[in-house]
Structure 1
Amino acid sequence: MDPKTLVKDLDHLVSLPDVCIRVNHLMGSGNFSSAQVAEIISQDADISARLLRVVNSSFYGLPTKIETLSRAITIVGADDLRNLVMAATAMRTFTGIPKQLVDMTEYWQHSVTTGVMAQSLAKHSNVLHSERLFVMGLLHDIGRLVIYLTLAEKATDVLYITGGDNWILPQTENEVIGFTHLDVGAELMRAWGLPDSFAAVAGYNNHPQEAGDYQLETSLVHIAKAIANGEMVGLNVQEMLWAIDPFAWQMTGLTPEVVSPMIDEMVAKSHEALSLITPQYKQAFA
């Protein structure tokens, strides 16, 4: 068993909606219009509604309300909208995972918080197209879900050994399974046809210096993930920031003094994002 085989086996358990496959195929051809992309997405009412909610939220800060997908694509770009389609799809696709393996509400809370923080930090660092960091952060840990779905027994062993300690999770996965959820996440990003930067972030968010051409994006998600992890378990700011690789500070130009005052606002914004993308979780954070 290897990550590529595991991702291929995933097709027997879950499948991407037709809208995602068609959008990826169209955009991969390099010959498409905004109207064509919008026409495909509009055939899935649920995803369409989610995308318009996000585009009209504070994440984009547009001066007027966007009523149509074609207009949304014109404003935010086809690539961003394609990435949001994948994010919304992932949240809808991964269901049926045993509760003893993962609390899905907590999982998506962590993932969305990581995405919101990564985008906010990217914007503060003047990174171009900072919105893409939201989706990168949202999907950074998705390899865990693939393992839970396809290797439930081994996943149970891993969780028993780690006792919830995420710091030793990759090492334990290597010992029990032979690879990590980071490896699986990177492979899934490739299988889904997402940009190489997404695979780099998914594969190296623990060690951003290994992310090649995408060290900046991976460093931003690394910082965001550490803060989101700390927030979930109730750490204070100093404890959250202690977990961050010094390389990530150097690569992004951020500092603990800059980031610390941003945390409360970013957490509040993550609750808004979660309710926008998945309204069924809204009550959990009301």
Structure 2
Amino acid sequence: MELASLLQSPAALPSIPRVIALLLAELDRDEPDLFQINRLLGQDPVLTTRLLQLVGTAHHQRQKPITSVGEAMALVGLQQVREMAYAAAATSAFRQVGNVDMPRFWRYSLNVAKLTRHLAQDVRHPVSPFTAGLLHGLGMLVMHLGMPRQMEELDRRMPLYAPQRHSAEYELVGYNYAQVGADLARAWQLPQALVDILEHQDAPFERDSYEPLSGILHLAVWRCRAMEMGYTDEDLAQTFPDTTALALKMDLHDVLDRDPIAWTTRQEVDALTG
């Protein structure tokens, strides 16, 4: 199936709930209207609950509980509200996808989000590294929705989380999850900077446009896929994307320097998808 045909399939391109779409549009304005954000959050009980849970986790030592959206926004800031809204958009649009293990998919995606943020923490970027990491794999889901038989066959030959998966997809259909995910982001009218990062994540040096966050995302994806596949130390050393790392002045130890206790738990997955 050609990419254009895939993207015209209603089943492959789910829409974002209206309230979340309006919230994202407001949050992505140069000067967001706090009153409008407060109003939109208040229209969605799930978003309100997530925001209050986010505040409760970040400020668990407060004696007085936070019960209003306005108070919660003041404590966590717009960046975290924006990240929460993007997460809600993704999880609302993709509840169940064919034979894909969705809890595992969101655990993996949260790990990529965390590691992307960790590796990008010393530099300013045009979009949230956490958001780029969380949304990076949505193209995988779109491909499974739009071409289930081809993807199920590919899953049997090449595991979904294998680091070489993007190449296998390209050989099979002429594009891969990175391009599909970027087109999904365009369809959802997400910021162009985020679209570009998603589109170039699979080969950050091989196209005309290069954004450092694409390279960081590439390294985070490699690391988390390798973990999903149970790579040994030798496997890690042999498959490490050293060209990308060199451009970012990183090495294998920088990417592996992650405390295992920080990896995503089942409770975090439940909180994301609940």
TM-score of the pair, normalised by structure 2: 0.82
In structure 2, give the amino acid aligned to 1:96: Q
Aligned match for 2:212, one of 216, 221, 243: 216
Per-residue CA deviation, residues 169-209 of structure 1 (Å, 9 max, x unaligned), is 33332343332221100111122222233223322222222
In structure 1, give the amino acid aligned to 2:273: T
Q: Do the aligned partners of 1:34 and 1:78 also contact (CA within 8 Å) in 2?
A: no
Q: Match for residue 256 of structure 1?
A: 252
Q: Say whether residues 1:195 and 2:191 are aligned partners.
A: yes
In structure 1, give the amino acid aligned to 2:187: A
Q: Do the aligned partners of 1:9 and 1:150 also contact (CA within 8 Å) in 2?
A: yes
Per-residue CA deviation, residues 255-283 of structure 1 (Å, 9 max, x unaligned), is 3233434242432x56564343235xxxx
Aligned match for 2:166, one of 159, 164, 170: 170
Q: Say whether residues 1:148 and 2:128 are aligned partners.
A: no
Q: Match for residue 85 of structure 1?
A: 85
- 1:67 and 1:162 map into 2 onto residues whose CA distance is 48
Q: CA deviation at 1:142?
A: 0.8
Per-residue CA deviation, residues 73-105 of structure 1 (Å, 9 max, x unaligned), is 445554552342122221232123222xx2112
Q: Say whether residues 1:135 and 2:136 are aligned partners.
A: no
- 1:215 and 1:19 map into 2 onto residues whose CA distance is 31
- 1:41 and 1:215 map into 2 onto residues whose CA distance is 32
Q: Match for residue 46 of structure 2?
A: 46
- 2:50 and 2:96 map into 1 onto residues whose CA distance is 21
Aligned match for 2:107, one of 103, 106, 109: 109
Q: Match for residue 116 of structure 2?
A: 118
Q: Do the aligned partners of 1:122 and 1:133 also contact (CA within 8 Å) in 2?
A: yes
Aligned match for 2:273, one of 264, 272, 278: 278
Q: Which structure has more helix as a fraction of its residues?
A: 1
Q: Match for residue 94 of structure 1?
A: 94
Q: Match for residue 231 of structure 2?
A: 235
Which runs of 5 or more structure 1 residues have no equivalent in the other structure? 280-286
Q: Match for residue 179 of structure 2?
A: 183
- 1:259 and 1:272 map into 2 onto residues whose CA distance is 25
| Cα gap change, 1:256 to 1:265, in 2 (>3 Å) | farther
| RMSD, aligned α-carbons | 3.2
Q: CA deviation at 1:40?
A: 0.8
- 2:210 and 2:53 map into 1 onto residues whose CA distance is 29
- 2:83 and 2:235 map into 1 onto residues whose CA distance is 32
- 1:77 and 1:213 map into 2 onto residues whose CA distance is 31
Q: Match for residue 225 of structure 1?
A: 221
Which runs of 5 or more structure 2 residues have no equivalent in the other structure? none
- 1:114 and 1:205 map into 2 onto residues whose CA distance is 12
Number of residue pairs matched?
272
| Cα gap change, 1:270 to 1:213, in 2 (>3 Å) | farther
| Cα gap change, 1:90 to 1:262, in 2 (>3 Å) | same
Partner-residue secondary structure (3-state), 2:205 = helix
TM-score of the pair, normalised by structure 1: 0.79
Compare 255-264 and 14-23 and name the one that shifted more: 255-264
Q: Do the aligned partners of 2:158 and 2:165 also contact (CA within 8 Å) in 1?
A: yes
Partner-residue secondary structure (3-state), 1:227 = helix
- 1:149 and 1:132 map into 2 onto residues whose CA distance is 27
